Amino acid sequence: MKILTIIGARPQFIKHFPFEKACEGKLELQTIHTGQHYDANMSEIFFKQLGMKKPDFILNTGSGNHGAQTASMMIEIEQIVLSQKPDGIVVYGDTNSTLAGALVASKLHVPLFHIEAGLRSFNKKMPEEVNRILTDHVSDMLFIPSEAAEANLSNEGITKGVYVIGDIMKDLVKQVKEKGLIRSSPCDDPYYYVTLHRPYNTDDTSRLKYILEELNLLRFKVIMALHPRTKNLMKKFELKQESYNNISFIDPQSYFDNLTYLSFSEGLITDSGGMQKEAYWLNKKCVTIRTETEWIETVTLGGNSLLFEDLSSMQDSIEKPIEAWDFNLYGDGFAAEHIVDRIVAYFA
């Protein structure tokens, strides 16, 4: 069967790699890269370093307002679907690329398979929350990471075609650890690793300045992988990097380098979704600068702390010891194989 997959942002490149490998010999796979992340360090390098095959279709969407961006993707995705006539469409996560693919599949009556379904932050001001809810409600098969995600879907009346298979990102972390692909420590001194990109943390001058000031006060050095939009906003707000002598700003990192920085850190401070899980799997304490998280299990198990309005307790939170770790959290590391087997069975 021919399966068309749609990717466009960094976390989707990571999720796609295990799925692509699991499809070999079982499903014919074609890939659309929407171009949602167009920066070379955020896009092309992931294909080169992970050894993924070049996408069959590369769109030139780029940045823009949510409505315009999603609509532009839909127009081009629809044309590809009509010409290629896939038997099914796979989308990942919760980006505008996800929603665009989901709407096209629904309108053209092509079976839709959603990987990383069922997550909820219960904050509809996040565009990702709207994207994932709408995608879930038009999906034919929903592959979810946890029982909490299953409960979320059940509460919305979605009970058919739901499969708890774990998290596909764990597949790759597992392989990286087993194959010894974590490199040597990038820094001789202890440090915290930081990523920051969400609009509510970056788009307001006083908010971004406050976060940088609090990071600058931390006990250990801070290494901050600077997302392109965060970097541009710092320039716009005239927040000079040299003003923060405890923060070392570096370029966005490729997948393996990102895991290396995280692995040797004293802890992670982020507003990312995926990195909360990666920190947990690598036994690193995480502080998430958000009011909520989709990965609530990392909080309830003590590996993750949520901070937002008052960041003065950031130091205490990142140093708070973890009593126990559940290394089986979000599956067995073979989610991609489970997903492919389910899709094959769907058509059989």
Q: What is the mean pLDDT of the chain?
A: 93
Q: Which residues neighbour 310 within 8 Å (Cβ) at sequence distance 6 or greater?
A: none
- Give CA angle at 118 (68, 226), nearest 5°: 55
Instruction: Evaluate whether residue 85 is within a structural domain.
Output: yes
Instruction: Evaluate whether residue 172 is within a structural domain.
Output: no
Same-domain status, 109 and 219: no
Q: For the chain, how many structural domains are there in total?
A: 2
CATH number, domain containing residue 286: 3.40.50.2000
pLDDT value at position 150?
98
Q: Which domain holds residue 84?
A: 2-167+331-347
* C-alpha to C-alpha distance for 56 and 47, rounded to whole angstroms: 13
Residues 113-138 have a mean pLDDT of 95
Please state the pTM of the whole predicted model.
0.90
Same-domain status, 150 and 33: yes
Q: Is 31 helix (H, G, I), strand (E, B) or coil?
A: strand
**Share in percent of the chain as helix, strand, coil (round to 5):** 45, 15, 40
- Catalytic one among 33, 114, 197, 227? 197
Chain segment 139-175, per-residue pLDDT in tens: 999 999 999 999 999 999 999 999 999 999 999 999 8
Residues 30-51 have a mean pLDDT of 73
Instruction: Evaluate whether residue 117 is within a structural domain.
Output: yes
Same-domain status, 143 and 26: yes
Same-domain status, 311 and 336: no
Same-domain status, 267 and 210: yes
Same-domain status, 47 and 161: yes
Residues 99-125 have a mean pLDDT of 97
Same-domain status, 124 and 9: yes
pLDDT value at position 45?
64
Same-domain status, 284 and 336: no
User: Strand locations in the chain, DSSP E?
Assistant: 2-7, 28-33, 57-58, 88-92, 112-115, 141-144, 162-164, 191-196, 221-226, 247-250, 268-270, 286-289, 304-307
Is residue 197 part of the annotated active site? The answer reads: yes
Q: Is 115 helix (H, G, I), strand (E, B) or coil?
A: strand
Is the pLDDT confidence value at 41 over 60?
A: no
* C-alpha to C-alpha distance for 205 and 301, rounded to whole angstroms: 34
Same-domain status, 107 and 242: no
Instruction: Evaluate whether residue 173 is within a structural domain.
Output: no
Same-domain status, 114 and 160: yes
Chain segment 197-249, per-residue pLDDT in tens: 999 999 999 999 999 999 999 999 999 999 988 999 999 999 999 999 999 99
Q: Is 29 helix (H, G, I), strand (E, B) or coil?
A: strand
Count Cβ neighbours within 10 Å for each residue of 6-39 and write b for 16 or more, e otherwise.
Answer: bbbbbbbbbbbbbbbbbbeeebebebbbbbbbbb
Instruction: Evaluate whether residue 182 is within a structural domain.
Output: no
pLDDT value at position 38?
58
Instruction: Evaluate whether residue 185 is within a structural domain.
Output: no
Same-domain status, 227 and 153: no
Task: Identify which of 207, 211, 193 has the alpha carbon closest to the alpha carbon of residue 275.
Answer: 193
Q: Are 305 and 287 in contact (CB under 8 A)?
A: yes
pLDDT value at position 185?
92
Residues 328-339 have a mean pLDDT of 96
Same-domain status, 147 and 216: no
Instruction: Evaluate whether residue 151 is within a structural domain.
Output: yes
Instruction: Evaluate whether residue 326 is within a structural domain.
Output: no
